[in-house]
Structure 1
């Protein structure tokens, strides 16, 4: 059984300076490059999850604000918690017209032995936002708070908790870490992996799983029709916006937080000109009204890092998650 602890991803990045001005390449020298054809912007999962939401929100903001001369075409490549898409992108080195959404699974899935591609096989472009995990149940569920759910899981370890990432990846780590902090054996959580947050919601609504865990931002719309209820969110304080009424784990006596960062990467060996163009484009996008409105609606927090900063952050995440997975007994040999 794991000792009580708080696994906050924010602490791993606390020392980094989130300065838009500190770019990895000289914008003045490389400013003439721009994409010459539509950019493939890949969500490595089915529609409806966090990667898909990020891809479509970014693409819509760029188009609405007329920030680029070409469209950013949203493409879904589901499977393997991201590994299917990464394998395809990994074969497409030096492609300056392909990007993909990324988050902790780019570290977690390889560490758990489920992908031979990791963050070092791609080009970091920019980190964009921070989101949080949220635990959901059906509106008619007997569990009124997170401790009700954990008490039931203690009595019946076979209770299924669904998530939109692979076993050993982000959603699994989020719920297992919370369970461990609540005094359960984190490795015994019966986690069911689905191909994205949309599939989690479908199975939860259908009563096929006892609870689901997903990103708070992508789940806010799922709460609007009253079919689902939220039990806890993994932020240190309540999140303003659509899920403002949802209590944190900490409020309910579970000493646990979990941040979900999301960003953009590209194929390996992209040109320096393309990297600079995209990181600067995304920095400008975050200052637009369209982005700010979408960000607030989804409950996201801006957390921009340029390519160089994001690359260092990913290396730190690798070190952090190696420890987390080892604690859970999920680190691949």
Structure 2
């Protein structure tokens, strides 16, 4: 009787697959996913690095006709990604049609005491790229080089308001420490997005800013901003090749930001496998390479066990860095 029931169930399953126009093999391999629109959430305002990366990915998806459903970018700002992170955990657990853009704050905001959850509470799908941090000032700034900016901050921190929030603060904190100053005394002014950073710089509300190359590269190229230093091992490529590295200038500080995609906790395995494969495919396309070159992004795909090891190592390094500048809670 047990064998008959089992055989009957198998026949019903095959019939159901046939009625939906799919093969049993296709269903098992997850070919039916995705079957509805995807919400691609960004925990910041339009104009931010997260927003720019998410929209670039969607542009590549459309150019390559790579995803069979619509992918909609949703801006859900608040607390440098913590509002979105909590929503993904509390409102979208188990969802297959929710993904989100993220970066270092997925780990560091919890270490700073600004978020109760972190990367271990969601499904991190893939690391996409590495982006370098950049220190910038208005083109007509009295600070002509990194030395003069750091000297002013060390001497009178309150007189030099600097636009940076969350992990964008860490590069300058390490530079000020290397220059003999107190990182905890820096007059940081927090903003939610790169667009607000830029407006504050151009209006004179702040005298300097720290952010990713993506957010300030076009303004530096246009002559509206001046890049004082990039915190990478090597100089950037043209048209930003004239910006020196901090190491060149005598400050042994290198730091970069990674960006990636995560999903909710308990995301179905077929959805995770789909996005791991699809994102790797997209990053190998000519469309992505064109956008990455334009933004000076270093494509650095990781998934699976390699990604897990990277996240663990990154978390350890962040803990040490934040502790060194007194920002660890």
Q: TM-score, normalised by structure 2?
A: 0.88
The answer for the alignment partner of 1:177 in structure 2 is 174
Superposed, which structure 2 residues align to 1:1-333 within 5 Å? Answer: 30-91=29-90, 92-158=92-158, 159-163=160-164, 165=165, 169-332=166-329
Pairwise CA RMSD: 1.6
State the shift of 1:31 in Å. Answer: 4.5
Q: Distance in 2 between matches of 1:306 and 1:171?
A: 25
State the distance in 2 between where 1:256 and 1:202 align: 27
Structure having greater relative contact order (Cα 8 Å, sep ≥ 6): 1
Kept in 1, the 8 Å contact 2:154–2:180? The answer is no
CA contact (8 A) 1:33 1:277 kept: no
**Could you tell me whether the CA contact under 8 Å between 1:241 and 1:297 is conserved in 2?**
no
CA distance 1:28–1:283, change in 2 (3 Å): farther
Structure 1, unaligned runs of 5 or more: 1-26
Q: Offset of 1:29 from its aligned partner?
A: 6.1
The equivalent of 1:13 in structure 2 is none
Q: Deviations over 1:167-218 (max 9, x none)?
A: xx31011211122122222222221111011111110111000101110123
Alpha-carbon contact 1:123-1:267 (below 8 Å) kept = yes
- Count of matched residue pairs: 302
C-alpha deviation, 1:236, in angstroms: 0.9
Distance 1:241 1:30, change over 3 A: farther
Question: Runs (4+) of structure 1 moved beyond 6 Å?
Answer: none
Q: Distance in 2 between matches of 1:142 and 1:198?
A: 23
CA drift of 1:264 comes to 0.6
Which shows bigger deviation, 286-295 or 221-230? 221-230
Structure 2: give runs of 5+ residues left out of the alignment.
1-25
Cα deviation for residue 305 of structure 1 reads 0.2
CA shift, 1:223, in A, is 2.1
Measure the CA separation in 2 of the matches of 1:310 and 1:177: 26
Q: 1:34 aligns to what SS in structure 2? A: coil
Q: How far is 1:309 from its partner?
A: 2.2
Report what 1:17 is aligned to.
none
Change (3 A) 1:140 1:75: same
Could you tell me which residue of structure 1 aligns to residue 6 of structure 2? none
Q: The residue matched to 1:313 in structure 2 has which SS? A: helix
Cα separation, 2, equivalents of 1:96 and 1:262: 21
Report what 1:20 is aligned to.
Answer: none
The answer on whether the counterparts of 1:241 and 1:299 sit within 8 Å (CA) in structure 2 is no
TM-score (norm 1): 0.87
> CA distance change for structure 1 residues 264 and 35 in 2, over 3 Å: closer, same or farther?
same
Return the offset for 1:33: 4.2
Larger Rg, first or second structure (1 or 2): 2
State the SS of the aligned residue for 2:36: coil
DSSP-derived class of the 2:123 partner: strand
Distance 1:30 1:121 in 2: 27
Deviation at 1:41, TM superposition (A): 0.7
Q: Which has the higher helix share?
A: 2
Q: Distance in 1 between matches of 2:60 and 2:67?
A: 10
Alignment deviations for residues 240-271 of structure 1 (CA, whole Å, 9 cap, x no partner): 13322211111111111001111111111001
User: In 1, Cα distance between the equivalents of 2:78 and 2:49?
Assistant: 14
Q: Tell me the alpha carbon deviations over residues 253-300 of structure 1, each in whole angstroms, 9 at most, x when there is no partner.
A: 111100111111111100111101001000000111110000000000
